[in-house]
Amino acid sequence: MSTTNFALFGAKPAFDKPLPIGQLYFPSWQRYEAAFHGIFERQYYNNNGPLHNKLEEKLQQFLGVQHAICVSNATIGLMMVADAMGLSGKVILPAFTFIASAQSLTWAGLKPVFCDINLATHQIALDQISGLIDKDVSAIMGVNLWGGSCNPKELSKLAAANGVQLYFDSAHAFGCTVDGVSIGNFGDAEVFSFHATKILSATEGGCICTNDENLAERLRSIRPSYGTDNPVSIVRVANARMSEAQAAIALMSLEDFPENQKNNETLYRYYETQLDTIPGLHLVRPTGVSFSNYQYVVCSVDEREFGIPRDLLIEILKAENVVARRYFYPGLHRTIPYVNDLSYYQDRLLNTDSLCASCIQLPIGALVTAQSVERICNILIQAHQSSAEISSRYEK
Ligand code: T4K
């Protein structure tokens, strides 16, 4: 293929409009209308409304967890958990995650301690955690990335052996299981994101899961700015309420979860067969789970094998209207809030730095079709085959 066929060099883009990353679930207009009709009839928008309460019940059944506490987004859910668990000092978490994981700690007055990751799985490097634990560390925050898990069972042993608490940022892991047990049941608490780009969407939203009665009461007391009828002793309250409108959409999304998961898995398998034939593109498998939501398609680009650097590949895809991204970038230790400690981390987070320079996320989700994936894979194949020509033409 000649470079003249690429939109980057002036050809017509492969897609007429941008194909977004993320799940972006939109049920039929009739279903929206029916759900919102009920809200209007009841004239009840917020504050432990019937749809909100139904959603919590359904989530508890679906996940087999005692308490599912819906919140307005996962970021505030993580902040609440850190506070409700009474954490102090430092918390260990991977450097390769979304900024919200670390910012929830900063908001709670805690210091994040960044751990490196395993390059094959992208999950926290279990063998490096013990070396980071000192007397000031009160907890480990595991992050279950990309529809896989960070091995909650091993992390539980590690936390218990070191006398620290354990909880999870499971923003990416709704519906995933580990040896048949739903994520949501591990550690002291787990937090899911129901953002529009996640497989379970409330447009914005999230949910804290716990099997600890006392912790659940504390969280329920923190969630509304006015406390609850039966408040437990807490120092700070927040406003993390989920509205009826959010709950209505989340209920439809939960009902359609099996279909959306299946669509994702089909698309993922297609990517898998195609990407495995392209030298230098290494697709990450959702490891450590017995069932995955296949919420993300993420691979690393080996520039020497593929022939094109990651960032140029993103430009090529962008020109074709494929919204590919370099998630997560940069590693959290290089972000403004934490950059003062960079000299400490300089040589300790080598896998994180390497992955941040090579990672690319491709479109998957309810708005993506098999034909779109086929077209994206063709662009990737052709980009590899024309890599020398593209590189020399791009440099000019
Ligand atoms: N922990 C982890 C590991 C996380 O990944 C996240 C969030 C959190 C915690 C915190 O969860 P939340 O507090 O957000 O519940 C997105 C999401 O906002 C965020 O939820 C997600 N992770 C993060 C990795 O990505 P942005 O700012 O990059 O997304 P945005 O708005 O640019 O959307 C992505 C693409 O989708 C774009 O191409 C635009 C398109 N889009 C998006 C929306 C919302 C649409 O076409 N329509 C839409 O309605 O953060």
What CATH number corresponds to the domain at position 348?
3.90.1150.10
Residue 217 lies in a domain: yes
What's the pLDDT score for residue 386? 96
Q: What atom in ligand 1 is closest to the CA of residue 194?
A: 15
Nearest to residue 68, comparing CAs of 194, 156, 157? 194
Residues 242 and 262 in one domain: no
DSSP E strands in 54-110: the ranges are 67-71, 90-94
Pick the residue whose CA is nearest to atom 38 on ligand 1.
20
Burial class (CB in 10 A: 0-12, 13-18, 19+), 26: middle
Segment 183-205 mean pLDDT: 97
Q: Report which residue type is found at 365.
A: G
Residue 15 lies in a domain: no
Residues 93 and 164 in one domain: yes
Nearest to residue 125, comparing CAs of 95, 89, 99, 105? 95
Q: Which of 204, 232, 252 is the last residue before a domain boundary? A: 252
Range of the domain at 162: 29-252
267 in helix, strand or coil?
helix
Residue 382 has pLDDT above 70, yes or no: yes
Pick the residue whose CA is nearest to atom 40 on ligand 1.
20
Nearest to residue 82, comparing CAs of 107, 65, 100? 107
What's the pLDDT score for residue 396? 64
Residue 79 lies in a domain: yes
What's the pLDDT score for residue 287? 94
Rounded Cα distance, 125 and 115, in Å? 7
Residues 120 and 237 in one domain: yes
Residues 231 and 312 in one domain: no
Q: Ligand 1 mean position to 193 CA, how many Å? A: 10
Residues 49 and 164 in one domain: yes
Ligand 1 pocket test, candidate residues 98, 117, 190, most atoms within 8 A of CB:
98
What's the pLDDT score for residue 367? 87
**Whether the bond into 152 is cis, omega within 30 of 0:** no
Segment 323-334 mean pLDDT: 93
Residues 280 and 261 in one domain: yes
**Whether the bond into 257 is cis, omega within 30 of 0:** no
Using a pLDDT cut of 70, give the percent of the chain over it.
Answer: 98
What's the pLDDT score for residue 394? 82
Residue 263 has pLDDT above 70, yes or no: yes
**pTM, two decimal places:** 0.96
Residue 309 lies in a domain: yes
Residues 274 and 247 in one domain: no
Residue 1 has pLDDT above 80, yes or no: no
Name which residue leads in pLDDT, 158 or 231: 158
Residues 74 and 170 in one domain: yes
Instruction: Label residue 20 by pLDDT band (50, 70, 90).
Output: confident
Q: What atom in ligand 1 is closest to the CA of residue 73?
A: 15
Residue 150 has pLDDT above 90, yes or no: yes
pLDDT digits (tens, 9 = 90+) for 282-314: 999 999 999 999 999 999 999 999 999 999 999
Residue 235 has pLDDT above 80, yes or no: no
Q: Which of 191, 219, 252 is the last residue before a domain boundary? A: 252
Segment 201-205 mean pLDDT: 98
Residue 112 has pLDDT above 80, yes or no: yes
What's the pLDDT score for residue 157? 98
Q: Is 197 in the pocket of ligand 1 (CB under 6 A)?
A: yes
Q: What is the CATH number of the domain that holds 180?
A: 3.40.640.10
Residue 337 lies in a domain: yes
Residue 132 has pLDDT above 70, yes or no: yes
Residue 1 lies in a domain: no
Cβ atoms of 219 and 207 within 8 Å: the answer is: no
Residue 227 has pLDDT above 70, yes or no: no
Segment 69-87 mean pLDDT: 98
Tokens of residue 370, six digits: 């098999």
Instruction: Label residue 353 by pLDDT band (50, 70, 90).
Output: very high
Domain tally, the chain: 2
Residue 372 has pLDDT above 90, yes or no: yes
**Worst-scoring range by mean pLDDT, 47-51, 200-204, 266-270?**
47-51
Residues 152 and 203 in one domain: yes
Q: Which of 227, 252, 277 is the last residue before a domain boundary? A: 252
Burial class (CB in 10 A: 0-12, 13-18, 19+), 204: middle
Strand order in the sheet with 359-362: 281-283, 297-301, 359-362
Segment 50-70 mean pLDDT: 98
Pick the residue whose CA is nearest to atom 44 on ligand 1.
196
Question: Mean pLDDT for the chain?
Answer: 95
Instruction: Label residue 225 by pLDDT band (50, 70, 90).
Output: confident
What's the pLDDT score for residue 234? 77
What's the pLDDT score for residue 23? 82
Q: Ligand 1 mean position to 231 CA, how many Å? A: 33
Segment 271-283 mean pLDDT: 96
Instruction: Label residue 2 by pLDDT band (50, 70, 90).
Output: confident
Q: Ligand 1 mean position to 228 CA, how many Å? A: 31
What's the pLDDT score for residue 229? 67
Rounded Cα distance, 215 and 202, in Å? 24
Q: Ligand 1 mean position to 20 CA, how many Å? A: 11
Q: Is 367 in the pocket of ligand 1 (CB under 6 A)?
A: no
Residues 220 and 189 in one domain: yes
Residues 60 and 207 in one domain: yes
Segment 47-52 mean pLDDT: 94
Residue 3 lies in a domain: no
Residues 265 and 229 in one domain: no
